[in-house]
A and B are shown apart, each in its own frame.
Chain A
């Protein structure tokens, strides 16, 4: 009988039952909750869901969420592209410094960052002091507790999430392509337009999706930096739970959020992927 090579997995001491802990944890604290949410949200023939859908608050929250998240996404992807390009082009030492600047806020909790922004943007905060010292404003400008502050706080939070996927695609670009384009008559701008941006497209769309999904789930920032009118969808869940103590509607709303996220991810997976790994 021929000696058959055992698959690597058979020789590795890593059987599939090692997935059991994560399965148990997620089963108990993710799948089971989703089941409960489904049951509550759809009880009595879906009446909580209908009630939520009829609520004028929902429309308001959805509108806020979409507008704020879209603005955040656009700004974060543009700034993320700039940062990713700088990291890509920097020498090894400068690259380490840039990464440190990007990762320090990344590893700081949202609460701390929002607190810092609140103190920076308050009437007697640093930004206002600066504006007045420079003569750009006579009296304190209201920068806090409005949509501007929410977007500042959110862009600050999601910016590193935008940098990572964009940087990954930029780094994958063969440096010879740039030289080839130059030798074929493309100037520096031509290289960016014809080579870099098309090849970074998948990274840009991944970044946009990730940032948008994360933005839609924001809860802390609208409370600390926004006005009551900047209520987002996550705050509405909290409102149903803590103010109305109506778990059924909170569950129904959560279902809507989960469905929206699943749809977004599905949409992105369905989009044709072109770029470095283009299909022929």
Chain B
């Protein structure tokens, strides 16, 4: 039976290859398309050239947008990292009625349509005269980052922080600060780091909120691309898309590293 089961398993996995190709195809064509010589998007590229990359980085508007997106993502990660990690710590090892609801509320930004979040944020920031500023986008992106940091800190807490560890540390004479530094911080650090990378990618990729809250000086890279894509498919867009692709590879490697640590 083992042999025939092997065949059945092989058939199952083989039947997945078209689906896998479907999943990977878009990621695979972006970089080659950026390397084309002409002004049209072509695949396979006829001439290898890096002019698309120099076009992209040489354009002051696109360059400014890239810097802006980094700034916003950094702010979002700072905010989401703080809120997500603190919330995970607060809920760790606790059981109370309605905990599921609290967790659900923390995770909600993943399922609430971005348009609704964006509209709501717009209305609030308009009242505060903050629309058009990068801080507003970063703050709202912070809510998107929070669930990712929360989940990944929660995972590393479950893996590393036994409540008994804290008790024994305290019984050994460690004060609250010492426990924080020597027990809790090392336990959550991998989760915070992984969550920060995921959150950075989420903010850096985000279009809808950035579109609603944009101002003349605050056009993020995805918003600029979104506008560009609607009018033309150029190698310059492919060049900037390559940057995003590189980011998702970084995220993937981070996750792989986190998984390996967990299974080790």
Contacts A101-B24, A257-B113 given; indicate if A107 touches B251 (C-beta within 8 A). yes
Selected contact of A258 from candidates B79, B116, B222, B230, CB within 8 Å: B116
Q: A34's closest neighbor in chain B, by CB?
A: B120
B252 touching A36, Cβ below 8 Å: no
Q: Does A254 make an interface contact (CB < 8 A)? A: yes
Q: Which of A25-33, A52-60, A166-174, A270-278 contacts B (4 or more CB under 8 A)?
A: A25-33
B208 touching A219, Cβ below 8 Å: yes
Q: Bits for B109-142, please: 1 = Cβ < 8 Å to A, else 0.
A: 1011111110111111001000000000001101
Residues of chain A contacted by B208 (CB below 8 angstroms): 219-220, 234
CB distance from A6 to the nearest CB of B (A): 9
Residues of chain A contacted by B143 (CB below 8 angstroms): 25-26, 29-30
A118 touching B124, Cβ below 8 Å: no
Number of A-B contacts (CB under 8 A): 271
Interface of A is mostly: helix
Which residues in chain B, 232-264, are within 8 Å of chain A measured between CB atoms? 233, 237-238, 241, 244-245, 247-249, 251-252, 255-256
Interface residues on A, range: 35 or more
Q: Does B8 make an interface contact (CB < 8 A)? A: yes
Interface residues on B, range: 35 or more
B13 touching A89, Cβ below 8 Å: yes
Q: B221's closest neighbor in chain A, by CB?
A: A111
Contacts A86-B12, A102-B23, A241-B122 given; indicate if A115 touches B93 (C-beta within 8 A). no
Bound form: Cα–Cα A47–B40 in Å = 49
A261 touching B111, Cβ below 8 Å: yes
Which residues in chain B, 65-120, are within 8 Å of chain A measured between CB atoms? 79, 82-84, 86-87, 89-94, 102, 105-106, 108-109, 111-117, 119-120
Bound form: Cα–Cα A269–B245 in Å = 37
Bound form: Cα–Cα A278–B176 in Å = 43
Q: Which of B47-55, B56-64, B163-171 contacts A (4 or more CB under 8 A)?
A: B163-171
A83 touching B16, Cβ below 8 Å: yes
Q: Does A237 make an interface contact (CB < 8 A)? A: yes
Contacts A15-B90, A219-B114 given; indicate if A29 touches B83 (C-beta within 8 A). no
Q: B183's closest neighbor in chain A, by CB?
A: A13
Contacts A22-B84, A30-B109, A241-B119 given; indicate if A108 touches B244 (C-beta within 8 A). yes
Bound form: Cα–Cα A32–B105 in Å = 14
A36 touching B113, Cβ below 8 Å: no
Contacts A25-B143, A118-B233, A156-B23 given; indicate if A261 touches B112 (C-beta within 8 A). yes
**Most central of A21, A188, A241, A251 by chain B CB within 10 Å:** A21
B233 touching A26, Cβ below 8 Å: no
Residues of chain A contacted by B206 (CB below 8 angstroms): 109
Other CB < 8 Å A-B pairs besides A22-B150, A94-B13, A104-B248, 8 of them? A13-B166, A20-B86, A101-B20, A104-B249, A119-B233, A125-B43, A241-B119, A261-B112
Which residues in chain A, 145-165, are within 8 Å of chain B measured between CB atoms? 156, 159
Q: Does A184 make an interface contact (CB < 8 A)? A: no
A116 touching B166, Cβ below 8 Å: no
Selected contact of A89 from candidates B9, B106, B198, CB within 8 Å: B9
Which residues in chain A, 86-109, are within 8 Å of chain B measured between CB atoms? 86, 89-90, 94, 96, 98, 100-105, 107-109
Residues of chain B contacted by A223 (CB below 8 angstroms): 226, 230
Which residues in chain B, 135-190, are within 8 Å of chain A measured between CB atoms? 139-140, 142-143, 146, 150, 163, 166-167, 170, 176, 179-180, 184
Q: Bits for A27-53, please: 1 = Cβ < 8 Å to B, else 0.
A: 011101110110010000000000000
B123 touching A251, Cβ below 8 Å: yes
Q: Could you jot down 6 A-B contacts, CB within 8 Å?
A: A19-B87, A115-B229, A122-B41, A124-B42, A156-B22, A219-B208
Contacts A33-B123, A116-B30 given; indicate if A85 touches B12 (C-beta within 8 A). yes
Q: B253's closest neighbor in chain A, by CB?
A: A100
Contacts A103-B252, A109-B204 given; indicate if A21 touches B29 (C-beta within 8 A). no
Residues of chain B contacted by A108 (CB below 8 angstroms): 26-27, 205, 244-245, 248
